[in-house]
């Protein structure tokens, strides 16, 4: 029986009702031995996450204002969960200690981390699992970078002594003993770390949606759920803004080739999305796995007759990187190159950047185009099927949208097209309906 590691997000642990659902899920399978918990999230749309309430307390204390009211609300959230679950258990000593630390200006990360710390204590008590503090197993280097090897060793060693345990997500410890958090949503990373450390058969990431969708539901009507996606495809879609997981959560499990299953706590019967290293016997449906896009790009087109292409391109790119501007794509022609960059990184620096390009490569002309949207059409099966690019272009063309740039990744995992921002949604819809029937 291969061990399963489960991570429950904030909405899955927002109140006693959700705790009961979580316990039912955990108890249905004995292999569900290690559980990573988030802090209580929103119970309804206008609600506040406990993590945000804790950040508020930090700011109030920093401004030397009273935290009494704000902290009492946090205590209330936990006490309500405890009493509605009927637990004979109190967090009062912990509350007192944390409140005192906030008043003594404890670090921002320490304060924020208490959300998962307290919630995990309740969950451990409710499930009858051991509580393992993440500060004993998750480590950062002095410079704040996550220390994956030390963490993996320590987590594996500690968990080998516990048959079943709850581990708080989101934080670890610095070499000097202070608490440090990952960036927001970081409990996903903790789940992945634990899965790697115990060499889990699967990392189940339980949230409030039934998996990853083929396109953004705000732009496409009820998009289909992706059944299976590879790590690489997920990275491509995530880079273009499609999110189900913290972007760094993939790395620990990727190393150990452990699949991730995105599941819905409120709909446990749905199989969700399976994120895997590779797919054998890939007979599934569409040649396209998902479509994602982003607005807010600019293209800088530089012309120069009879340029020496290699040095020309490298000089241009250096001018941009010196100004800390990310380069997204570099389509080239015989006498031109275009560079696609995020508009917000270029804003205000245009004159400097163009002057620098003029100085270094003496171009014949430089033109700037704003309001560009990029769309990534991602699918592992594109390598094997001919005509996919043709279908993408035809769909966009038939919708009356002009394509400004085309780029196909060399792994043939994705096709990127650039269109005018005004035509972004039309293009996205056209591609979606071409591939999803
Ligand atoms: N509670 C933290 C946040 O709200 C971490 C997490 O939920 O993953 O970002």
For the stretch 162-174, pLDDT in tens is 999 999 999 999 9
Among 239, 345, 334, smallest CA distance to 300 is for 345
Q: Examine the pLDDT at 284 and tell me if it is beyond 70.
A: no
**pLDDT for the residue numbered 243:** 84
Question: Is 22:207 a contact under the CB 8 Å cutoff?
Answer: no
Predicted pLDDT of residue 332: 85
Backbone angles phi, psi at 179, to 5 degrees: -80, 140
Distance of CA 89 to the CA centre of its chain: 34
Q: How far is the CA of 336 from the centre of ligand 1 (A)?
A: 46
Q: What percent of the chain has pLDDT over 70?
A: 99
pLDDT at 327: 95
Helices (H) and strands (E) in the chain, counts: 14, 15
In angstroms, the CA 137 to CA 194 distance is 9
* 423 to 293, 394, 398, 418: CA distances (angstroms): 12, 15, 13, 10
Q: How far is CA 146 from the centre of its chain?
A: 16
Distance 91 CA to ligand 1 centre (A): 20
Q: Is the pLDDT of residue 27 over 70?
A: yes
Q: Per-residue pLDDT averaged across 127-134, rounded? A: 98
Per-residue pLDDT for 415 more than 80? yes
Find the mean pLDDT for residues 272-300.
Answer: 90
What pLDDT does 9 receive?
Answer: 97
Please say if the pLDDT value at position 412 is more than 90. Answer: no
Taking only the tens place, the pLDDT of each residue in 46-59 is 999 999 999 999 99
| Average pLDDT of the residues in 31-57 | 98
Give the residues across from 171 on adjacent strands.
181
Residue 285 CA, ligand 1 centroid: distance in Å: 34
**Tokens matching residue 208:** 């409030």
Ligand 1 pocket test: pick from 170, 205, 248 the residue with the most ligand atoms within 8 Å of its Cβ: 170
**Nearest atom (ligand 1) to Cα of 183:** 9
Residue among 179, 187, 206, 247 to mutate when testing ligand 1 (max atoms within 8 A of CB):
187
Plot region of 427 (φ>0 → left; ψ -120 to 50 → alpha; else → beta): alpha
Protein residue closest via CA to atom 8 of ligand 1: 185
pLDDT at 335 over 90: no
CB 377 within 8 A of CB 283: no
Average pLDDT of the residues in 257-261: 97
pLDDT digits (tens, 9 = 90+) for 343-399: 999 999 999 999 999 999 999 999 999 999 999 999 998 888 888 989 999 999 999
Q: Which residue has the higher pLDDT, 282 or 53?
A: 53
What pLDDT band is residue 227 in, cutting at 50, 70 and 90?
Answer: very high
pLDDT category of residue 216 using cuts at 50, 70 and 90: very high
Give residues (CB < 6 A) around ligand 1: 9-10, 38-39, 49, 51, 115, 169-170, 184-187
Over 70: is that where the pLDDT of 130 sits?
yes
Residues 8-21 have a mean pLDDT of 98
Lowest mean pLDDT among 35-44, 274-283, 363-372: 274-283
Rg (CA), the chain: 25
Pocket test for ligand 1, best of 115, 120, 243 (most atoms within 8 A of CB): 115
Residue 305 structure tokens: 């007759």
């Amino acid at each position: 029986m291969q061990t399963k590691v489960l991570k429950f997000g904030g909405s899955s642990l927002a109140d006693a009702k959700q705790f009961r659902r979580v316990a039912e899920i955990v108890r249905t399978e004995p292999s569900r031995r290690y559980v990573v918990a988030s802090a209580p999230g929103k119970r309804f749309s206008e609600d506040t996450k406990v993590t945000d309430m804790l950040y508020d307390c930090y700011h109030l204390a920093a401004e030397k204002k009273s935290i009494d009211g704000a902290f009492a609300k946090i205590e209330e959230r936990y006490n309500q969960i405890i009493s509605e679950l009927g637990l004979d258990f109190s967090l009062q000593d912990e509350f007192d200690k944390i409140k005192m630390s906030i008043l003594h200006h404890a670090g921002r990360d320490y304060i924020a981390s208490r959300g998962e710390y307290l919630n995990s204590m309740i969950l451990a008590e409710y499930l009858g699992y051991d509580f393992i503090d993440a500060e004993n197993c998750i480590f950062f280097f002095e410079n704040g970078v996550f220390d994956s090897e030390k963490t993996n060793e320590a987590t594996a060693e500690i968990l080998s002594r516990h048959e079943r345990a709850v581990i708080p997500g989101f934080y670890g410890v610095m070499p000097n003993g202070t608490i440090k958090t990952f960036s927001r949503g970081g409990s996903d990373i903790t789940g992945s770390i634990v899965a790697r450390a115990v060499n889990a058969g699967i990392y189940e990431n339980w949230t409030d949606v039934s998996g990853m969708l083929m396109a953004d539901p705000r732009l496409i009507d009820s998009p289909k759920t992706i059944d299976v996606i590879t790590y690489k495809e997920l990275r491509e879609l995530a880079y273009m803004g499609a999110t189900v997981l913290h972007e760094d959560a993939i790395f620990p499990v990727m190393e150990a080739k452990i699949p991730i299953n995105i599941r819905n706590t409120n709909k446990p019967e749905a199989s969700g999305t399976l994120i895997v290293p590779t797919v054998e016997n890939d007979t599934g449906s569409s040649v396209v796995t998902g479509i994602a896009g982003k607005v807010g790009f600019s293209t800088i087109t530089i012309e120069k007759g009879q340029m020496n292409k290699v040095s020309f391109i490298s000089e241009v790119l250096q001018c941009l990187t010196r100004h800390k501007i990310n380069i997204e794509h570099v389509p080239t022609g015989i006498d031109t190159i275009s560079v696609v960059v995020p508009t917000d990184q270029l804003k205000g620096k245009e004159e400097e950047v163009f002057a620098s390009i003029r100085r270094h490569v003496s171009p014949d002309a430089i033109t700037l185009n704003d309001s560009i949207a990029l769309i990534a059409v991602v699918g592992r099966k594109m390598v094997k099927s001919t005509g996919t690019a043709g279908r993408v272009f035809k769909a966009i063309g038939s919708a009356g949208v002009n394509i400004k740039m085309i780029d196909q990744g060399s792994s043939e995992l994705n096709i990127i097209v650039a269109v005018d921002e005004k035509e972004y949604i039309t293009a996205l819809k056209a591609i979606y309906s071409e591939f999803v029937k």
